[in-house]
A and B are shown apart, each in its own frame.
Chain A
């Protein structure tokens, strides 16, 4: 289904980006490892994770980063262009284990992806918005703060 176009004129400083929630399961971490090529046992091997001092396998920072980007592209649509993106991994998060092929042992979101527009402007005829973005874990902690700049279409453009 075609996504709605987010126009620059319809975004104001203070606009909140629709949040995205995800449940990080051990199965998702395996899929991410296969897709990304990151086979660091820190993300699936309990003994290794314990020896590394993180207690148990942790969610990949880069998976959280990919979900933050998804939040932005879900919001801004196909016509927008993510120009700049940065984030910092400030805390470790843990996945929910699976109880069957398709079900986690708990049905709850583990990560909430949020953002807010902090600035908008025009530079070299390019219409941009700047945003603060972040991930909250299931304890309400901001585990992954970041910033993004998006270029949006204007209503006068084809």
Chain B
């Protein structure tokens, strides 16, 4: 698994368009008029609907229907399974934003390990984010003990000394 450290994936293009933004906002329950009101957004200093910061981080509109099976992540999963760790849960995320992204932009997305760089309008970098995956092998899978509290199990992985 250590061979994957520093490995980069292939660039991916993600279209940030109004439908995807609104589908995202609907799922989150965000009624910000910058997303839903075309005239309001047009008269704002942004001049159009913007993708809210939360939009980035879990890409939409991938070619693959299962974004977590992007090639680099697929390699990570296979390496984990081969090492005897068959489960991965999402451990967290970090962003650094550079510009807001309007819906007419067509950002490029460059994978770097499990982190991605969105390139926004006019080729400007919009944000960079990275994911943390927690990989675990349940001890009870052998059937020798009862399943523990999954929350405690996560805690044990994050802070094994605790």
Q: Which residues of A are in contact with B by a Cβ distance under 8 Å?
A: 1-3, 22, 28, 31-32, 34-40, 42, 52-55, 60-63, 65-70, 72-74, 78-79, 81-92, 141, 146
The A-contacting residues of B in range 70-123, CB under 8 angstroms, are 87, 89-97, 100
| Main DSSP-derived SS at the B contact region | mixed
Q: Which of chain A's residues have a CB closer than 8 A to the CB of B20?
A: 35
Pairwise interchain contact B23-A35, C-beta atoms closer than 8 A = yes
Pairwise interchain contact A88-B91, C-beta atoms closer than 8 A = yes
- Whether A92 touches B150, Cβ cut-off 8 Å, given contacts A53-B87, A83-B96, is yes
Q: Which of chain B's residues have a CB closer than 8 A to the CB of A38?
A: 58, 67-68
- Whether A63 touches B28, Cβ cut-off 8 Å, given contacts A84-B96, A85-B94, is yes
Q: Chain A: which residue is nearest B50 at the CB level?
A: A78
Pairwise interchain contact A22-B29, C-beta atoms closer than 8 A = yes
Q: Which residues of B are in contact with A by a Cβ distance under 8 Å?
A: 20, 23-24, 26-30, 32-34, 40, 44-45, 52-54, 57-62, 65-68, 87, 89-97, 100, 132, 138, 140-141, 147, 150-151, 153-155, 158
Contact with B40, one of A2, A53, A85 (Cβ below 8 angstroms): A2
Q: Which of chain B's residues have a CB closer than 8 A to the CB of A78?
A: 32, 34, 44
- Jot down 29 A-B pairs with beta carbons below 8 A, ordered by A: A28-B27, A35-B23, A35-B28, A36-B60, A37-B58, A37-B60, A37-B61, A38-B67, A38-B68, A53-B87, A53-B138, A62-B93, A63-B27, A66-B54, A69-B52, A70-B29, A70-B30, A73-B54, A82-B53, A82-B95, A83-B96, A85-B53, A85-B93, A86-B95, A87-B93, A90-B158, A91-B151, A91-B155, A92-B89
State the CA gap A71–B155 with chains docked (Å): 26
State the CA gap A5–B54 with chains docked (Å): 20
- Whether A90 touches B34, Cβ cut-off 8 Å, given contacts A53-B138, A65-B93, A85-B94, is no
Q: Which of chain A's residues have a CB closer than 8 A to the CB of B44?
A: 78
Q: Which of chain A's residues have a CB closer than 8 A to the CB of B58?
A: 36-38, 62
Q: Which of chain A's residues have a CB closer than 8 A to the CB of B59?
A: 37
Pairwise interchain contact A53-B150, C-beta atoms closer than 8 A = yes
- Which 3 residue pairs are nearest across A and B when measured between Cβ atoms? A69-B54, A88-B92, A35-B27
Q: Which of chain B's residues have a CB closer than 8 A to the CB of A28?
A: 27, 29
Pairwise interchain contact A86-B94, C-beta atoms closer than 8 A = yes
Of listed B40, B54, B61, residue having the most chain A CB within 10 A? B54
